[in-house]
Amino acid sequence: DYWVTHVREAVRFDDGIRALAAQGVTRFVELGPDGVLSGMARESAGDDALLVPLLRKDREEVTVALTALAELYVRGVPADWAAVLDGTDGRPVDLPTYAFQHEYFWPAGSATGTGDIRLAGLGTAGHPLLGAAVELAGADGVVLTGRLSLQAQPWLADHVVGGSVLVPGTALLELAIRAADEVGCDTVEELTLSAPLLLPAHGGTRIQVTVGEPDESGRRSVAVHSREDNDDERGSWTLHAEGMLADAAPTVPRPDFDASVWPPKDARPVDVTDCYETLAEAGLRYGPVFQGLRAAWRRGDDVYAEVTLNDDVDGGTFGLHPALFDAALHASYAFGGDEPHDAAPGGVPFSWEGVRLHASGASALRVRLTRTGEDSLAVELADPAGAPVASVESLVVRSASTVGGGTGSGTKPLYHVDWVPARAAAGTRPAEPVALLGGNALASVITDTDGLITAADLDALAEREVPGTVLVTVTNLLPDVVESAHHAVAQALELVRKWLADERFTASRLVFVVGASETTGSAEGLTAAPVGGLVRSAQLEHPGRFGLLDVEPGSVLSAELLAAVVRVLGEAESEVVVRGGEV
């Protein structure tokens, strides 16, 4: 009778909910497999009513039921929590007695703090880049140690060469000067930089400055090594700089460099407004701390300049702050000419000779650079009052492009590109249909087109049954390599967009045939490489929709090779190279 009545007579669900609401009922629980009735009852029950379905379709029952109970509980419905938690590990706990807002007062410890290093039998180094010094027993040598990191020395992040954060050559020279002071020498006779010192984004790098015993003339060897700061105590050390220290007779700047008369007489001003933009184009990207060049003048083979250290950088604890010294060398920008477009691209230090520090802690400098060779300079630095600060008899610089491949640990890369011969099943023809896109564009690569589908473009291909593999090439060379690369990438991008936009291509793969992108130096390789990069990006976003086929210029894909390529691509390979008739 119940079911017959339920089917034949009006349910009057809306009337029932409204009647309950009129009686003051504001909380409704739906007992059923889903929350359909709760949604239907919302309009009838009113905006203030709480409607809670006990279960929801395709959701975990216990979680949904407990959530429903919690919603009811916070709206004033009593719950027997002892019964709910019976048989579980749950138990009631008191709520916290404080507000749920927190304010932290963590002690700000020094990133370079080492406590009392004398407890470890070490001496203090007295330098911001060094933590300790130790005299070697049984030998008249010294080792100074420290740790560099972007957390402890954040200003180092403003020195970027070739896209990598490198410790500037002036910082390595500063370490050698400090080592000379430690052993009573006043001159860095020579210092040659052998390997760039890269700093990791996280963690630090240990450094050691070692000073050898004096020879008959009192000269001492000096070397700067580093090792990545990790738990592997057996890691190798990398040599970054080595040279000689000496105790030379005192010298003074040349008489014709009168830094008290400023700017120098008869010197022509050089516009340095675009200095750091020009240096950035040459691969030298300096942040604010290193952008200290303020003005420059030129007279003959001499360049004069003013450089300052940022107000928020403390140079008083250094012999000569590396950022300030480096900024002094940026004045070589003015050797290019009087106009910004004539400016020299600049370089990075490679070797130093005859370096002496006359005064420490400078925050502003007057600079004279004298060109002594095609890539060498003499450097003289004075303070704003004209008193000598430092002098360099000879500095050899080299292009920023030669500085790549630096390391902080000396370890070899973990990964390298290696092509593995494919093991495709034998066959003389592709096992599935293959389409060639672009008319005769692939005629020089695939000469045997029997059984292959050809189409002029994607629109023509879409009008027929689209095969699983579609080959296309866009590496048509123009007279200019750069224009050719841009043209090829634009073509490839248009093809990728059209391929993804048309649902008729969803089950197929578009394979770009490029010419020897792994071969450096050829026009084909330079044109194909950016196309390959674009396709690889598309592969990451749309797996299985695109492929790359790299063939040597002038080579021909036989039917057997093409069959092997198609089979290998069908085995979830995204990139295939054909060399010497092998896939």
Evaluate if residue 529 carries a pLDDT over 90.
no
Q: What is the DSSP string of 371-425?
A: EEETTEEEEEEE-TTS-EEEEEEEEEEE-GGG--S--SS-PPPS---------PP
Same fold flag, 2-85 and 434-578: no
Max Cα–Cα distance, the chain, nearest Å: 121
Spatial contact of 117 and 132, defined as CB atoms under 8 Å apart: yes
Q: In 100-184, where do the E strands start and end?
A: 132-135, 142-149, 159-161, 164-165
* Antiparallel, parallel or unpaired: β 238-246 and 220-228: antiparallel
Whether the Cβ atoms of residue 387 and residue 381 lie closer than 8 Å to each other: no
pLDDT at 81: 84
Evaluate whether 247 touches 173 at the Cβ level (below 8 Å).
no
What does CATH list as the number for 434-578? Answer: 3.40.50.11460
Residue showing tokens 């049984």: 138
Mean pLDDT of 259-268: 86
Instruction: Look up the CATH number of domain 130-246.
Output: 3.10.129.110
79-108 pLDDT per residue, tens: 888 888 888 877 777 776 766 666 777 665
Per-residue pLDDT of 410-460, as tens digits, reads 444 445 566 777 765 455 555 678 888 876 667 667 767 677 888 888 988
Q: Does residue 466 sit in helix, strand or coil?
A: coil
Task: Count the Cβ atoms, other than its own, within 10 Å of residue 229.
Answer: 18
pLDDT range class, residue 476, cuts 50, 70, 90: low
Of 555 and 310, more confident: 310
> Looking at the domain 268-402, which fold is it?
Thiol Ester Dehydrase; Chain A (3.10.129)
More confident position, 99 or 37: 37
Mean pLDDT of the chain: 82
Determine the Cα–Cα distance for residues 135 and 122; give it in Å rounded to an integer.
8
pLDDT at 209 over 90: yes
Lowest-confidence segment of 22-31, 209-218, 443-452, 515-524 by average pLDDT: 515-524
**Within 13 Å of residue 380, how many CA atoms lie on the same side as its CB?**
18
Hey, where are the domains in the chain? 2-85, 130-246, 268-402, 434-578
DSSP state of 223: E
290 or 261, which is more confident? Answer: 290
Does this model's pTM top 0.75? My answer is no
| pLDDT tens digits for range 491-521 | 899 999 999 999 999 989 999 988 754 443 4
pLDDT mean over 548-571? 79
| Cα–Cα dist 126/92, whole Å | 59
Q: Find the helix packing angle between 169-182 and 322-329, rounded to 10°.
A: 130
Mean pLDDT on 385-399: 90
C-alpha to C-alpha distance for 50 and 32, rounded to whole angstroms: 17
Q: Would you give the end-to-end CA distance of the chain in angstroms?
A: 77
Task: List b or e across 192-201, with b for residues whose CB sees 16 or more CB atoms inside 10 angstroms.
Answer: ebebbbbbbe
Instruction: Select from 301, 295, 297 the least CA-distant residue to 370.
Output: 301
Reduced to 3 states (helix: H, G, I; strand: E, B; else coil), residue 375 is coil
Distance CA 493, CA 442 (A): 19
Whole-number pLDDT of residue 521: 40
Token readout for 323 is: 């950022």
Q: Residue 396 is encoded by which pair of tokens?
A: 């050899």
Would the pLDDT of 319 be above 90? Answer: yes
Three-state SS at 406: coil
Q: State the average pLDDT over residues 22-30.
A: 92
CATH number of 2-85: 3.90.25
Query: Does 70 have pLDDT greater than 70?
Result: yes
Q: Are 478 and 487 in contact (CB under 8 A)?
A: yes
- pLDDT value at residue 41: 86
| Banded model confidence at residue 325, pLDDT cuts 50, 70, 90 | very high
| Mean pLDDT (whole number) for 376-396 | 92
Cα distances (angstroms) measured from residue 383 to each of 81, 328, 359, 420: 79, 12, 9, 62
Distance from C-alpha of 188 to C-alpha of 459, rounded to nearest angstrom: 72
Whole-number Å distance between alpha carbons of 199 and 168: 11
pLDDT of residue 412: 47
pLDDT at position 434: 85
Share of the chain above pLDDT 70, in %: 82
Q: Contact at 8 Å (CB) between 348 and 169?
A: yes
Sign of CA dihedral 419, 424, 429, 433: negative
The reported pLDDT for the residue numbered 472 is 87
Q: Which helix (H) or strand (E) holds 188?
A: strand 187-193
* Per-residue pLDDT, 157: 92
Q: Which of 170, 150, 129, 197 is nearest to 324 (CA)?
A: 170
Residue keyed to tokens 């790549």: 404
- In this predicted structure, which of 106-120, 148-162, 486-500, 544-558 has the lowest mean pLDDT? 106-120
Q: What is the pLDDT at residue 429?
A: 53
3 band by pLDDT with thresholds 50, 70 and 90: confident
Please report the pLDDT score of residue 220 as a whole number.
Answer: 94
Q: Is 483 helix (H, G, I), strand (E, B) or coil?
A: helix
Average pLDDT, integer, range 314-320: 91
Cis peptide before 255 (omega within 30 of 0): no
Instruction: Determine the pLDDT at residue 98.
Output: 66
Q: What is the pLDDT of residue 389?
A: 93
Cα distance between residue 23 and residue 46, in whole Å: 13
Q: What is the pLDDT of residue 543?
A: 85
Place 255 in a pLDDT band, splitting at 50, 70 and 90. Answer: very low
pLDDT class of 4 with cuts at 50, 70, 90: confident
Does residue 173 register a pLDDT over 90?
yes
Helix (H) or strand (E) holding 14: helix 13-22
The pLDDT value given to residue 171: 96
- pLDDT given for residue 360 in this prediction: 92
Beta bridge partners of residue 298, listed in sequence order: 268, 303
Q: Cα separation of 367 and 329, whole Å? A: 9
pLDDT at residue 161 is higher than 50:
yes
pLDDT at 341 over 60: no
Q: Which of 163-172, 227-236, 406-415, 418-427 has the highest mean pLDDT?
A: 163-172
List the single range of 93-107, 176-190, 381-395 with lowest mean pLDDT.
Answer: 93-107
What tokens appear for 380 in the block?
């003289």
Measure the CA–CA gap between 358 and 381, rounded to whole angstroms.
9
